[in-house]
Each structure stands twice: as structure tokens, then as C-alpha cells.
Structure 1
Amino acid sequence: MRGRPAAAIMLSDEERAFLESQVRRQEVARSLSDRCRMILLCAEGLPSKEVARRLGHNEHTVGKWRRRFSEHRVAGLTDEYRSGRPRTVSDAQVAEVVRRTLETAPRDAPHWSIRSMASETELSHTTVRRIWTAFGLRPHRSETFKLSTDPLFVDKMQDIVGLYMSPPNRAIVSCVDEKSQIQALDREQPVLPMAPGVAERRTHTYVRNGTTSLFAALDVATGAVIGKCYKRHRATEFLDFLKRIDREMPEGPDVHIVMDSEADQKTAWGAVFPPNATHKTPRIKAWLARRPHWHVHFTPTSASWINQVERWFAELTRKQLQRGVHRSVTELEADIVAFIETHNEEPKPYRWVKSADEILASVKRFCQRTQQTLCGEL
């Protein structure tokens, strides 16, 4: 007796081109590539038994994909949806993991880890990981923030951002600040240099060889930096640095200086500077008053990020100070001066991209999220 006749396969030009392209592709799944080969051989008029012999498959497998293709064409070559294994974790268990992660903490730690949560809820650590990933929970991460309490925050921020994005004609905008208490650190043992397959190694203990303070002024338009190191950080040194800036500035254009008022800065011992510290002493006020072409713009309290010279300080720390070894303050100051000179050979200005309205909108969204979080906890 003869069995059920095999379905005849007739291919259109588009179907043949698609099947042949899937056979040639290296990235395609092996299962789909084999199915395409089966259909191409069936389209040549070969019986399923011969196709199975050539490709090393079972005859019933070839017959299955022949029927699927004749019924659904190219779409029939993909696997059908499979329900998979039934769920072993209920919605209530997922909700409990999320609730504990957000509202509680283990007895021996400030936050949950994957395995401590798995032990507490009697779930596998892979299940806890999937739940945390699905809900965007990362208890091990912590970020810091500080909102400015300056009552004139909006006015000061709009003033300074306006200088960055639309500077006055024929005027120089310079960001001035100091990086105090820069330590000259040496390692207790020699640094072992890098070798193939071996990273540079240094001791975690160090020797302090003194400190220095760097006053710097960044030209917003060109990116050039004027800097000078001082042994002390007082109004006297700051006034001397302002005089240096004045000497190096060209005559004629107005000078707009962006700096902080130091009302919110603290010393190494935690004592708050008095209101007239360093940047606002009578001598400095008098010196600025004698120069009407100088215009001072104070940054808001707790908003040093708006001063672009802080970005240059971060670059100095990362490239020069973080891994530097200095046996004396003289060596430290020499390296800082060399870094400034190298920077000024090819200075590049920092590009300020956010407008004042965009910054205020971002601060507003943060405050709203914080308020919602606090209200949810209450």
C-alpha cells in the first residue's frame, strides 16, 4: 500500500531567494538553515525519504516541515509558541521580594544582597536576580546629592549660564577658584612599574610631605588656564592671584569673573568660614571697586558644579595627582605647573550644553521624585 502523497512544493522567486539567503548566512540558526535546505530539495521534486538521506534527518521530520511550508509558506518554518514550564513563583512572592527590598533591611547589613534576600524569602538567588532586574532594583548602589539652599539660586544660575551660552560682546569670561590642601604624597616603598601581563603596583600606605594650594582661572572662550600655587590659602594670596590675572588680561575688554562666595565652604577641621573670608574681604572689595570693568558673578551656595574650572580641577586630579608620587611640595608644584603649561599648548574649551531652563526643569523633576518617595514612606 502506498502512503499519503507528499505535498508538492512550488517556490516563487521571492521565496527561493529568501531560502537560499538563509542557507548562506553564517549567523542564522542551524535549525532554520536545515529547514530551508529541506524545502529547497523538496522543491526539486525529491521525495522526503531521499531528502532525509541527503541531510541526515528523519523522514518524518522532513515530512513535517514540508507540510508546514505548504500550509503557511515561509512563516511555517519558524518554531511555534511554546508555553514552557509552568510558573513556580507566584505574583505574591514577587511582590513580597519587591516590598522587602524597598522597605526593609537585613539585621547585619544596611541593604539586601541577592543571596541574603534569597535566604530570607526561600527563593533561588537567580530568581531574586531576575525580579530585581525586571523592577530596576539595585540595592548595592548608592548615590549622593545636595540641593542648593541659596534663596537666589535661580537668579545666580541664570546669570552664570547666560555668560556661558551667550557671552557679552568684546568681553572675557573667566572662572576662578582654588584647589586647597593638595597633598604631596610619596609611597612608603618604591612603585613597581608595569610589565607585560602585570599592572603597576604600589603600596596602599603613603607618606605626607606637605600641602599646597592652587589658584586657577579658566578662560571660558579658549580653555586656557592661569594658575599659581601658594603655601597658604588666605585673602592675601587670592588678591595676589587676582593681580596676576589682571596683568595677563588684555587691556580694553570687560572681564567677567565667576567664583564662589565661600560662605558654604569648610576648613579641614569643619569650621565654617566667616562671611568675609578670602573672596569677600574689604581689601578685595576695594581692589575690585577700583576696576569698574571687572564684573564678579558669584555661584549659588552648594553649586560648585556650575563653575567650569572645577571640571579642569577634576582633569588635573585624574591625570596628574591621583597616581602621582611627590617627595616634596616643590616636586608637586613643579608637576602642577608643567601640567598647566602642557594644557595651554593646545587648550580646548568646555562646551556648556544645558540652558538655564533645562537645568531648572531637571532640578524640579528631582525634587518631585524625592517628594513622592518621602510621601510614600510616610
Structure 2
Amino acid sequence: MARPPDVFVRPLSMEEGRKIQRITRTAKDPVKLRRAIVVMMSGQGQSVPDITSLMQVGDDYVRDVIHAFNERGFDALDPKWSGGRPPAISEQVREHICLIARTVPAEWGIIGHSTWSLHTLTEHLLARGVVAAISREHLRRILRKGGVSWQTTTTWKASNDPHFITKMQRVLELYDHPPADGRVICIDEFGPLNLMPRKGKRWRPAGSPARLRATYNRYHGVMHMIAALDLATGKLYYRIRKRKRWREFLSFLKTLRERWPGEKLYVIMDNYSPHKHAQVRAWAADNDVELVFLPTYGSWLNWIESEFAALRYYALNGTDHRTHDEQNAAIGGYVRWRNTRAQPKTSFAASSPIRSWTSYPAKVA
């Protein structure tokens, strides 16, 4: 007996059968997957009631899928999503809303609010007639789609160094192509090292964070750490002292000079006044040490800064040391652990926009 053409798919070629099978295995859209399974089962000779029972769908749905496939072929498997009702707020108004959100209330003569909340922004939009009606959730979705998000205000200290680019290029040149006749060293101070509870993170039972005391006294003063990063090996060298004058700095330079005799040292550092002391400069000139100063307010160019961030995170955060000996031992333990895993430093900010700067941007942030 011939099959009723209205309840079974048309005969499928071998290639069409393989394509249907492939779709049932790889389709990620659930609608397309379900339709492909219906067509495949119908092509295998299963009746509409059988497919309905196995797929847990209605008879009308199965018949509609079969008829659509017989008429349009594989195009019928793709869902045709309807657009829904037209948006109540036009695209132009949405852009205007995002523009207003990026301003501050004071620019509109609103006193007493330094920033918009969803509530105050909604009231402002309604009062100015930008929209006739809008909910806070709708406003939130418009801002999110427009790329406007709630962010913390940050600060930026612009450099007033007229030779910023020249100094930056000198530092980058030393990073990218270390001189064959010497060694590049990054130096900076870290601290002050207080004895205080420091917030941090650790693994704990859910809902039971570790707690540290909230109050403390500075009975034992502070200490200061000066450190050097050797780019050739990636190792850190440091000293912890009670003060950080030019005398302590010069003493540290001398230890570095003794560590690498016969090599010229290129020492990259910021413009802290002890670094520029006359006796420091004179000793450096007499001992084959070139002092390479970073641009003013350009400490972020010092490669050692990232090492300090890691030291603070791993060795100090989450601690509450009661003596400097205890805290210094923790720092020493971290540095030794880190140095056993050190690798030569290469590729400083390789894809950063600073590589293309020809002048200092007026607004870097």
C-alpha cells in the first residue's frame, strides 16, 4: 500500500539522509535539532503517532514539520524567529539615554547627587520628556546594550616630564635589547612594611571567612625594603632596613656591583631623591654603573613593579605578623621560593599602545 504523502516526508536521497543524520548529531539550536529528528524518524517510516509519542510533541507540530520540509527542504529546519512587537523606545532615543548616563547630575543643575542611580536617572529622563515611561529594569538593559556600565572612578597622575618619550624609549630599548657588555637591573623601594593585619584571600569553608583583628598599634615602627630585579635571570635581590636614605641605597648598589664584577650595570629606577644624590651619582660614574631614570610619574615602566604586586599578594596579604623578624622571614621565604622558579625577563608590554607613542598623550587614562 502506498504511503500517504501528507504524513511522511518525501523520499530522501542518500546524501540527504547523511545530511539529516549529521544535523541530528551536531545541531546546537534545539529547534533545528528537534525538527531534524522528526524528519529523520519520518524518513525511516515511523508514523506521526509514533513520532509524537517518542518526541513528546503534538500531532500538529509533527505534521507541520513534515509538510514544511516537503515544501522547502532543509531551509524548513532553521527556526524563523519573529521580531516581536516593535521597540517602544527608538534607537536614537536609546543613544540619547546612554549619552545622558555618561554625564553627572551637576551638569544638569542637579545639586546633592554626584552620580546617577537608576532611580534618579529614570526620574530625570521622565522630567525632561526624553521618554514617556520607562522602568528601571528597562533602563538597565538599554545601558548594558549601549556599552555603559557602572564603574569605579579611577585617578591618573599625568607626567610633566618634557623628555618622557625619550626616557621611555631608552628604557624599552634596554628591555628589548639588553646590551652585550652588561646587565640590566630594575631597582625600587617597597613599603613601608608596617606590622598590621592585611586583608587577603584563602581557601575556607563556605560562609566562614578567616578573620583578623581590626585594630593594631605601631609599637615597633616600620621597615623599608629595597629590591633589584635582574632581567637576565629573572631573580630578585633585596635588603630590608629601618631607613631608606641615599646611604642605604648606595650600600645596596655596592652589593650589586660586587655580585657582578666586570660587567657594566644599567640600573633602571624612578626619580626618588636618594637615587639622585651627588654621592650616588659620583660612585656610579666611577664604578661602571649607568643610572637610567624613568620619566617623571612613569614608575609603571619599571619591570619590578609587577614583582612587588606578586610579593604583596603571596607573602603579605592575609597575614597579621606581630614582629618585623616574623614578617621579614615571610618575605625572605617567598623570594627564595620565587627565585628557584625564575625565568629571564623578556617581552615587556609587547602589544601595549605605548609602543606606538610619539608624544605623551594628554589624557592617557
Structure 1: state its 5+ residue gaps: 263-276, 371-378
**Superposition RMSD on alpha carbons, in Å?**
3.2
1:196 matched residue in structure 2: 205
Deviations 1:151-199 (A, max 9, x none): 1111111111111110111311111111242212158xxx9x9653333
Q: Secondary structure at the match of 1:210?
A: coil
Equivalence map 1:167-186=2 (5 Å):
167-186=178-197
Which residue matches 1:321? 316
Match of 1:280 among 254, 276, 279: 276
- Judge conservation of contact 2:27–2:33 (CA < 8 Å) in 1: no
Give the aligned partner of residue 294 of structure 1: 289
CA distance in 2, matches of 1:335, 1:59: 72
SS at match of 1:243: helix
Residue aligned with 1:207, SS: coil
Shift in CA distance, 127/159, structure 1 to aligned 2, threshold 3 Å? same
CA pair 35-176 structure 1, distance change in 2 beyond 3 A: closer
Give yes or no for contact 2:195–2:322 (8 Å, CA) kept in 1: yes
Contact 1:160–1:299, Cα closer than 8 Å, also in 2: yes
What are the Cα deviations for residues 80-111 of structure 1, in whole angstroms up to 9, with x where unaligned? 24131232223454244223212232655422
* Contact 1:254 1:294 (8 Å CA) reproduced: yes
Give the 5 Å matches for 1:97-246. 97-105=97-105, 107-121=111-125, 122-186=133-197, 195-197=204-206, 198-208=208-218, 209-246=220-257
Distance 1:104 1:295, change over 3 A: closer
Match of 2:128 in 1: none
Partner of 1:68: 68
Give 1:136 deviation, angstroms: 1.0
What displacement does 1:289 show?
2.6
Q: Match of 1:345? A: 340
Q: Is the 8 A contact 1:35 1:65 kept in 2?
A: yes
Post-superposition shift, 1:47?
Answer: 6.2
Change (3 A) 1:290 1:314: same
TM-score (norm. length: structure 1): 0.79
Does the 8 Å contact 1:111/1:140 carry over to 2?
no
Count matched residues: 346
Classify the secondary structure of the residue corresponding to 1:184: coil
Structure 1 residues 248 and 369, CA gap change in structure 2 (3 angstroms): closer
* AA aligned opposite 1:314: A
Name the amino acid aligned to 1:40: M
How far does the alpha carbon of each residue in 1:200-221 deviate from its partner, in whole angstroms, 9 at most, with x for none?
Answer: 2223333334211111111011
What CA distance in whole angstroms lies between the structure 2 residues aligned with 1:355 and 1:62?
58
3-state SS in 2 of match to 1:278: helix
The reply to whether residue 40 of structure 1 matches residue 32 of structure 2 is no
In the aligned structure 1, how far is the partner of 2:263 from the partner of 2:333? 29
For residue 76 of structure 1, report the CA deviation from its aligned partner.
Answer: 0.8
- Contact persistence 2:266–2:290 (CA under 8 A): yes
The one-letter amino acid paired with 1:13 is M
Are the counterparts in 2 of residues 38 and 51 from structure 1 also a CA contact under 8 Å? yes
Q: 1:269 aligns to what?
A: none
CA distance in 2, matches of 1:173, 1:75: 65
- CA distance 1:47–1:257, change in 2 (3 Å): closer
Change (3 A) 1:357 1:322: closer
> 1:130 is matched by which residue type in structure 2?
R
Residues 49-71 of structure 1, C-alpha deviations (whole Å, 9 max, x = no match):
67557756544433322221112
Matched, 1:258 2:268: yes
Partner Cα distance (2:307, 2:173) in 1: 20
Structure 2: segments with no counterpart, 5+ residues: 126-132
**TM-score normalised to structure 2 length:** 0.82
Cα gap change, 1:298 to 1:92, in 2 (>3 Å): closer
- The answer to whether the Cα contact below 8 Å between 1:210 and 1:328 also exists between their aligned partners in 2 is no
User: Compared with structure 1, are the counterparts of its residues 66 and 340 closer, same or farther at alpha carbon in structure 2 (3 Å cutoff)?
Assistant: closer
Overall identity of the aligned pairs, in %: 26
Q: Give the Cα–Cα distance (whole angstroms) in 2 for the partners of residues 170 and 161 of structure 1.
A: 17
- Structure 1's 202 and 295: CA in aligned 2 closer, same or farther, altered over 3 A? same
C-alpha separation between the residues in 2 aligned to 1:12 and 1:216? 75
> Which stretch shifts more, 315-324 or 151-160?
315-324
Provide closer, same or farther for how the CA distance between residues 195 and 99 of structure 1 changes in structure 2, counting only shifts above 3 A: closer
Distance 1:368 1:216 in 2: 31
The aligned residue for residue 130 of structure 2 is none
8 Å CA contact 1:210, 1:329 repeated in 2: no
Per-residue CA deviations over 1:122-165 (Å, capped at 9, x if unaligned) read: 52222112211222112433333233221111111111111111
**1:109–1:202 Cα change, 3 Å:** farther
Larger mean Cα displacement after TM superposition, 69-78 or 89-98: 89-98
SS at match of 1:279: helix
Which residue of the partner structure matches residue 301 of structure 2?
A: 306
